[in-house]
Amino acid sequence: MKKWNGCSLLNHNTFGIEAKARLFVEYGSVEELQNFVRSDQSDSKMLHIGQGSNLLFTQDFDGIVFHCNMTGTILEREDENSAILKVGAGMPWDDFVAFCVDHGYYGLENLSQIPGEVGASAVQNIGAYGAEVKKFIESVEVVNLFTGELEIKHNVDCGYAYRYSNFKGPWRGKYAVTHVWFSLDKTFRPNTNYAAVRNIVEEMGADAVSASVIRQKIIDIRKEKLPDPNVLGNAGSFFMNPIVEKETFLELQKKYPDIPYYEVATGIKIPAGWLIEKCGWKGRHLGRAGIYEKQALVIVNLGGATGNEIVTLSHKVSQDVYEKFGISIKPEVNWI
């Protein structure tokens, strides 16, 4: 276990925001975390982070920030159709996806190149290009940050929904994710819910396309649309795509015939990036925070921005979208 007092969090969040933690703790085993939690830390605020790719620090954190340094992948069991992999929460997410593609475990290809770590994927229910990770999570191992007890949360217990889990709701701040079990297919079946993937499958033929081809296609799309956080600080998609009732959508469609949409079980999903762009925000900025010129869904740190500057910009964008469309857009990023 490693500990740092007054640790800078600049390199622990992809927005590139300067903030400090009173204590930063990096653990390499479940037992290390349990022993630390069971020491006298009852008066401390606690926060568990991965790569900080979904965090916005608006102030210093007067408490303990934990980070998991467990990165191993273990084949727990398998049959002729599927495999169960146990993965350390500290493993970079895209490294895990690459491992799966290379070793013949399929289903995560459309989630390639998403920043962050495996533990955060189970908290956030990451999704992109027609896939969500909740479909592949079997269970989640956690340590209770108040008691040190080790618990297993099964998929059905986690309350997974669009960009949501109970770890972001009633369990917020209570647990540290230490391992995640994934159930993956051993036969490749391309997920063609996203048009660009569907097109490449149609062009090459379902029998010719491979998981590595789909993975590379997703990587190329993300590199084209999204800024590299090492160059321009950002947390990827800042806002969630709103879901509205069908009646509300039909009224909007009368006024905006070109409005893009996706039918989902709970209503009609409208791309937040389209709403923001129609409000004229794409490529604009307020001070040192701006909307990315290639993707209106992304807020970027143009250099030296504070968390509060980014919050101010997000509020202004949300307000303009509501005034123009009557739709509330909510942040996907967690504010600290």
Is 165 a known active-site residue? no
CATH of 2-68, one of 3.30.70.20, 3.60.20.10, 3.30.43.10, 3.30.2230.10: 3.30.43.10
For 86, residues 6+ apart whose C-beta sits below 8 A from its C-beta are 73, 74, 76, 179, 180, 181
Tell me the domain boundaries of the chain. 2-68, 73-224, 233-335
> Of these residues, 53, 165, 237, 314, which one is catalytic?
237
Say which CATH class 73-224 falls into. Answer: alpha beta
Is 189 a known active-site residue? no
Cβ(261)–Cβ(320) under 8 Å?
A: no
Mean pLDDT by 10 residues, the chain (336 residues): 88 91 94 89 78 89 92 93 96 96 95 92 90 96 93 96 90 94 94 81 80 91 86 89 92 92 87 94 94 93 92 96 94 87
Is 163 a known active-site residue? yes
> Of these residues, 53, 117, 163, 309, which one is catalytic?
163
CATH number for the segment(s) 233-335: 3.90.78.10
Sheet holding 175-185, edge to edge: 73-78, 82-88, 175-185, 137-144, 150-154
| Per-residue model confidence (pLDDT) at position 231 | 86
How buried is residue 75: exposed, middle or buried, by Cβ count under 10 Å (0-12/13-18/19+)?
Answer: exposed
